[in-house]
């Protein structure tokens, strides 16, 4: 019972942090379950995939109603992220826990660096219906999307850390549209691999249930309080958490 | 899929950047419905876990997903029945969104997006086939 409450509270924390910082929460849920609750990494990834689908479905609807997420672009790219996720879902059951832990540590370091380099505030007006922009280098975007899908399936994250830079920097999509569209794409990307985890016995319902409910509650709270919180302080705290977690994951990779 | 590196294309030419307000709204409603339904089922499952004094970590191995057992578990009010149904609803919601988009694009005569939608559904179907092929074979 106490463990169940702990999972819900952990899910809420991941949901709040994820929504305030524009992440799916998977990058926090996997370390929470492995380092905090001692779950094997692959089981933690299965639970995390379910949670990132919940946050994606909940927030993508809002972004679509505001016409910030681009359904056509998102669906075209998610054809490739889903292919990558299918490949990653198969690879995940071939790699050992130490390799997965090392890959996750590398992702955490990359996330911390990305967070430090992110600009301080919103610099773009929110686009609405009829907003027109140019899409360039689609081919590179498709390749990047396959890569994002593989990473998502292997490590249980939404893959926004790859998709957003690919769309924004490579394809020339405005940052807000890229972020919202990435969020929309997470659902299909994660479900393509979550299906494999589900049938192969990689999702524990007793852990996934409380965590998913917690993440949903946390993301709801986070989206309502985002405007009241100093994101610079939060981002610094997050970078520290990521750095510490990366260190612990490296230890896990070396000592397992 | 016809944009190139040297010649950036406009929204209409690339077919990627344009928005589809009516379809967006319909899909937003579908996503909200799927999410609330899934969270409702999962919450019920978690409450049944609490009532039964079931700890998430007490069984050394958790049950694998078995669709055939789902009706019995639900009828008996067992936590795992509601948890599995909630998890399946979570995982199926994005695919339902793609099916809705497929219908919307087909009605609009947008062949390109119909092909994209069918491609995504084909990948999802492949995932199901692969999952069933290796069902319960490894963790």
Is residue B7's pLDDT more than 50?
A: no
| Residue in the block written with tokens 């944009």 | B3
Between residues 89 and 128 of chain B, which touch chain A (CB distance below 8 Å)? 90-95, 97-98, 101, 113, 116-117, 119-120, 123-124, 126-128
ipTM: 0.86
What's the whole-number average pLDDT of chain B? Answer: 84
Rounded to whole angstroms, the Cα distance separating A254 from A99 reads: 9
A199 in any annotated domain: yes
Taking an 8 Å cut-off on Cβ atoms, the answer to whether A134 and B10 are in contact is yes
How many pairs of residues across A and B have Cβ atoms under 8 Å apart? 265
pLDDT per residue as tens digits for the range B83-92? 999 999 999 9
Query: A125 lies in a domain?
Result: no
Instruction: Identify the domain containing residue A64 by its residue range.
Output: 2-116+132-255
End-to-end CA distance of chain A: 29
Cross-chain residue pair A209–B32, CB shorter than 8 Å: no
CB A78 within 8 A of CB A182: no
Chain A environment of B139 (Cβ under 8 Å)? 40, 42-43, 93, 200-202
Closest CA relative to residue A18, chosen from A217, A240, A246:
A217
What the block records as the tokens of A113 is: 């660096």
Question: Per the CB < 8 Å rule, is A129 touching B19?
Answer: yes
Interface test with A, best of B22, B57, B125 (most A CBs within 10 A): B57
Nearest to A191 among B14, B124, B135 (CB): B124
Domain spans in chain B, listed from the N-terminal domain onward: 21-133
Query: Which residues in chain A have Cβ-Cβ distances shorter than 8 Å to B13?
Result: none
Closest CA of chain B from A139, distance in Å: 7
Neighbouring CB atoms inside 10 A of B122's CB total 13
A225 domain-assigned: yes
Domain count, chain A: 1
- Exposed, middle or buried by CB within 10 Å (0-12, 13-18, 19+), for B100? middle
Collapse the DSSP code of B9 into the 3-class scheme (helix H, G, I; strand E, B; otherwise coil) and give the result: strand
Q: Is residue A126 part of a domain?
A: no
**Confidence check: pLDDT of B12 > 50:** no
Best A24, A47, A159, A205 member to test B by mutation, with max B CBs in 10 Å, is: A205
d(CA A161, CA A142): 15
Please provide the distance, in angstroms rounded to a whole number, between the alpha carbons at the two ends of chain B: 38
pLDDT digits (tens, 9 = 90+) for A30-42: 989 998 898 998 8
Q: Which residues of A touch B104 (CB under 8 A)?
A: none
Cα–Cα nearest to B118, from B88, B95, B92, B91? B95
Q: How many Cα atoms occupy the beta-carbon half-sphere of B126 within 13 Å?
A: 16
**Residue B37, min C-alpha distance to chain A (Å):** 11
Q: What is the pLDDT along chain A (256 residues), one digit of tens a residue?
A: 677 888 999 999 888 887 777 677 788 899 899 988 989 988 999 999 999 999 888 888 888 888 888 899 999 999 999 999 999 999 988 988 889 889 989 988 888 888 777 665 444 555 555 566 788 888 999 999 999 999 999 898 888 888 888 898 889 888 888 888 988 899 999 999 999 999 988 899 999 999 999 999 998 887 777 667 776 777 787 788 888 888 888 887 887 5
CA A106 to chain centre: 15
- Write out chain A residues lying below 8 Å of B15, CB-based: 72
């Amino acid at each position: 019972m106490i463990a169940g409450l702990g999972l819900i509270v952990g899910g809420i924390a991941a949901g709040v942090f994820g929504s305030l910082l524009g992440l799916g929460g998977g990058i926090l849920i996997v370390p929470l379950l492995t380092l905090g609750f001692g779950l094997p990494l692959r089981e933690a990834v299965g639970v995390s995939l379910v949670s990132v689908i919940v946050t994606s479905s909940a927030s993508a609807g809002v972004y679509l109603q505001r016409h910030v997420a681009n359904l056509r672009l998102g669906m075209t790219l998610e054809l490739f992220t889903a292919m990558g996720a299918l490949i990653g879902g198969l690879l995940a059951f071939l790699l050992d826990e130490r390799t997965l832990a090392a890959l996750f540590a590398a992702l955490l370091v990359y996330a911390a660096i990305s967070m430090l380099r992110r600009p301080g505030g919103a610099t773009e007006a929110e686009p609405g219906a009829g907003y027109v922009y140019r899409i360039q280098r689609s081919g590179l975007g498709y390749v990047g999307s396959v890569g994002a899908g593989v990473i998502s399936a292997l490590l249980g994250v939404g893959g926004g850390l790859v998709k957003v830079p690919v769309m924004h920097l490579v394809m020339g999509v405005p940052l807000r549209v890229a972020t919202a569209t990435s969020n929309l794409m997470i659902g299909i990307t994660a479900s393509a691999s979550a299906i494999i985890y589900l049938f192969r016995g990689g999702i524990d319902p007793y852990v996934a249930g409380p965590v998913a409910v917690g993440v949903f509650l946390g993301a709801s709270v986070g989206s309502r309080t985002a405007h009241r919180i100093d994101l610079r302080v939060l981002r610094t705290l997050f970078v520290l958490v990521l750095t510490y977690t990366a260190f612990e994951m490296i230890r896990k990779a070396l000592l397992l | 899929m016809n944009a190139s590196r040297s010649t950036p294309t406009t929204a209409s030419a690339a077919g990627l950047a344009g928005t589809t307000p009516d379809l967006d709204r319909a899909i937003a409603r579908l996503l909200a419905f799927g999410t609330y339904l899934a969270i409702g089922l999962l919450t019920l499952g978690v409450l049944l876990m609490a009532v039964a004094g079931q700890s998430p970590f007490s069984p050394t191995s958790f049950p694998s997903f078995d669709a055939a057992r789902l009706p019995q578990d639900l009828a008996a009010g067992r936590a795992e029945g509601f948890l599995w149904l909630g998890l399946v609803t979570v995982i199926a919601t994005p695919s339902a969104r793609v099916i809705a988009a497929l219908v919307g694009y087909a009605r609009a005569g947008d062949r390109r997006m119909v092909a994209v939608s069918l491609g995504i559904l084909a990948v999802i179907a492949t995932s199901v086939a692969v999952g069933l092929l290796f069902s319960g074979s490894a963790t």
